[in-house]
A and B are shown apart, each in its own frame.
Chain A
Amino acid sequence: KAGVTQTPRYLIKTRGQQVTLSCSPISGHRSVSWYQQTPGQGLQFLFEYFSETQRNKGNFPGRFSGRQFSNSRSEMNVSTLELGDSALYLCASRPAGTAGTGELFFGEGSRLTVL
């Protein structure tokens, strides 16, 4: 069974640009969560989607947004990039029947560098 797939793995942008990251969950998983990982702030929850609906949102500015498609694939978008947005963005999916348990399967991440 293929794992969580994130694309692109690495990307470089400049301040003020926008970026879109993609995540394909494990087949059959309908919930997708996104996390930001930085050396200073560690791992922080961005948002969770289930059946194309945002179920939970972390404490990030409105420049960070996401969506989920009918095939459970998800994208997140960051507009007007700032230097501080440089991070590893991790996507995770969970199996059916694990609602509330927090058990997640993570992808390898998309490493964004903002210059």
Chain B
Amino acid sequence: AQSVTQLGSHVSVSEGALVLLRCNYSSSVPPYLFWYVQYPNQGLQLLLKYTSAATLVKGINGFEAEFKKSETSFHLTKPSAHMSDAAEYFCAVSEPQYGNKLVFGAGTILRVKS
């Protein structure tokens, strides 16, 4: 069965500092992995996705994530945080045999301090 664990429900960084949001997954087969971002009172926006091509995936707004099969991880990073990055971030997994159903982690709220 698929599952996603996001370490840290809240992460606080200073503006200009490195952003690291952690995600570990459980899947019986090579999965598709995603990071979505949600701003207050809005829906989810896709940041980036891993679909078995390059293990280092670049997304929008300067974010990237690296798929590490040996660690079953898909951590999200950004070299320099911006105030506009403050939002909630969700890691998600899907497996082809389950169609387009996404299983989400609990989410990490990112706070950026000036």
Contacts and interface: CB of A to CB of B under 8 A. Distances in A.
Nearest to B102: A102
A51 B94 CA distance: 21
A82 interface: no
A90 B43 contact: yes
A103 B35 CA distance: 10
A96 interface: no
Interface stretch (A14-22, A40-48, A66-74): A40-48
A100 B90 contact: no
Majority SS of interface residues in chain A?
strand
A105 interface: yes
Contacts, number: 74
A64 to B, nearest CB: 15
B101 interface: yes
A34 to B, nearest CB: 11
Nearest to B98: A56
A39 to B, nearest CB: 10
A4 interface: yes
Nearest to A33: B100
Interface in A75-115: 90, 92, 94, 98-109
Contacts of B51: 101
A31 interface: yes
Given A33-B101, A43-B92, 9 more contacts: A42-B105, A45-B103, A98-B100, A102-B32, A102-B92, A103-B46, A103-B49, A108-B42, A108-B43
28 contacts: A33-B100, A42-B106, A42-B107, A43-B107, A44-B104, A45-B102, A45-B103, A55-B99, A56-B101, A58-B101, A90-B43, A92-B43, A92-B44, A94-B100, A100-B94, A101-B32, A101-B49, A102-B94, A102-B100, A103-B32, A103-B34, A103-B49, A104-B44, A104-B46, A106-B43, A106-B45, A107-B43, A109-B42
Q: Sort A-B residue pairs by CB-CB distance and give the 5 closest, nearest first.
A: A102-B94, A106-B43, A100-B96, A43-B104, A106-B44
